C-alpha cells in the first residue's frame, strides 16, 4: 500500500521505508544525525552487562553508539521489518508498544526515547513506562518535536515539501509534545528532565545535499520550540495523589 493512501502517523509507513534506515542519503537520514546527538547525552555503561532500552528503536540507528558505550542494546518497536534490520546490527529486538512495554520494572540502566513521543497517542503512558523500566540512578534521554506553531511550520508545512526531507505524512502534528506536560509527567515518576533544543547545521545540510557529508553533526541550541532533547536521572518516584 502506498504511504499516500495511509493516514498521518500510520506505523505501516515504516514498512515502505525499510531500505532508507541505514542509507546515509535517504529520507530518514536526519534520524541518524539525531541518534548520534542523543548518544552524546548517554553516559558510558555503569557496569558489565548494563542494559540500554531503546524505545521506538526503528532499525537500530543507536546501535553503534550503544556498543561504543558498552551497553547491551534492547530495542522496542512495533514494526517487524525494522526490528529484523535492527537485529542485524546487534540489537536484541522486542516487538511491543512503548505505551505498554513487555519489560520488567527497573530492567534498564538507561532508556532512550528517540523520535517516538511525537508518535504516541498517550504521552502520559509512554513517559510512565519509560520511567518504570528505568532503575533508580539510571538515565533517560529523549528527543522529540515540540507542540508549537513553529514546529508545525518547520516539520510539516515546509519539511514535507523539501526533496529528501521528512516523508509526507510521517507526523501527525496533533501529537507533537507539550514540553511542560512532558517535564511534569517525568517528574511524577522520579525523573527531573533538563531540556535543550537541537537543529541541523546549515553548512552540514548543504554538504549533505551536495553528497559530500553523510553525517552532519546536529547543533545544540537554547530554543526548544521545534526539535528538542531531554536528559534526566531517575531518583524516587513521586506518589500520585488520587
- Is the pLDDT at 74 greater than 90? The verdict is yes
Greater model confidence, 148 or 4: 148
Q: pTM for this structure?
A: 0.93
- Is the pLDDT at 238 greater than 60? The verdict is no
Q: How confident is the model at residue 163 (pLDDT cuts 50, 70, 90)?
A: low
| Range 161-181 average pLDDT | 88
| Range 173-201 average pLDDT | 97
What's the distance, Cα to Cα, between the start and end of the chain in Å?
45
pLDDT digit string, tens, across residues 99-126: 999 999 999 999 999 999 999 999 999 9
Give percent of the chain with pLDDT exceeding 70: 94
pLDDT digit string, tens, across residues 35-48: 999 999 999 999 99
Residue 139, classified by CB atoms within 10 Å of its CB into exposed (0-12), middle (13-18) or buried (19+), is: buried
Q: What is the pLDDT of residue 2?
A: 45
Q: Could you tell me which of 132, 171, 145 has the C-alpha nearest to residue 53? A: 132
214: its cell numbers: 553523510
Q: What is the pLDDT of residue 1?
A: 41
- Is the pLDDT at 149 greater than 70? The verdict is yes
Contact between 37 and 231 under an 8 Å Cβ cutoff? The reply is no
Residues in a beta bridge with 17: none
Q: What is the pLDDT of residue 240?
A: 47
Domains in the chain, CATH or no CATH each: 3-233 (3.40.50.150)
The SS3 assignment for 90 reads coil
Amino acid at each position: 500500500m502506498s504511504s499516500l493512501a495511509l493516514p498521518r502517523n500510520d506505523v505501516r509507513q515504516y514498512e515502505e521505508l525499510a531500505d532508507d534506515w541505514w542509507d546515509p542519503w535517504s529520507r530518514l537520514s536526519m534520524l541518524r544525525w539525531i541518534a548520534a546527538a542523543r548518544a552524546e547525552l548517554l553516559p558510558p555503561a555503569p557496569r558489565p552487562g548494563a542494559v540500554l532500552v531503546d524505545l521506538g528503536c526503528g532499525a537500530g540507528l543507536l546501535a553503534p553508539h550503544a556498543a561504543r558505550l558498552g551497553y547491551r542494546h534492547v530495542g522496542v518497536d512495533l514494526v517487524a521489518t525494522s526490528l529484523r534490520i535492527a537485529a542485524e546490527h546487534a540489537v536484541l529486538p522486542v516487538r511491543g508498544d512503548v505505551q505498554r512495554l513487555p519489560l520488567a520494572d527497573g530492567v534498564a540502566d538507561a532508556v532512550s526515547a528517540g523520535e517516538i513521543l511525537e508518535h504516541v497517542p498517550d504521552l502520559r503512558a509512554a513517559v510512565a513506562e519509560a520511567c518504570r523500566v528505568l532503575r533508580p540512578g539510571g538515565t533517560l534521554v529523549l528527543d522529540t518535536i515540540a507542540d508549537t506553531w513553529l514546529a508545525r511550520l518547520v516539520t510539516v508545512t515546509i519539511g514535507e515539501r523539501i526533496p529528501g526531507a521528512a516523508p509526507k505524512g510521517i507526523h501527525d502534528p496533533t501529537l507533537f509534545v507539550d514540553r511542560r506536560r512532558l517535564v511534569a509527567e517525568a517528574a511524577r515518576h522520579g525523573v527531573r528532565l533538563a531540556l535543550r533544543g537541537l537543529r541541523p547545521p546549515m553548512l552540514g545540510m548543504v554538504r549533505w545535499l551536495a553528497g559530500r557529508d553523510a553525517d552532519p553533526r546536529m547543533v545544540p541550541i537554547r530554543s526548544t520550540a521545534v526539535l528538542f532533547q531531554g536528559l534526566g536521572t531517575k531518583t524516587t518516584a513521586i506518589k500520585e495523589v488520587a
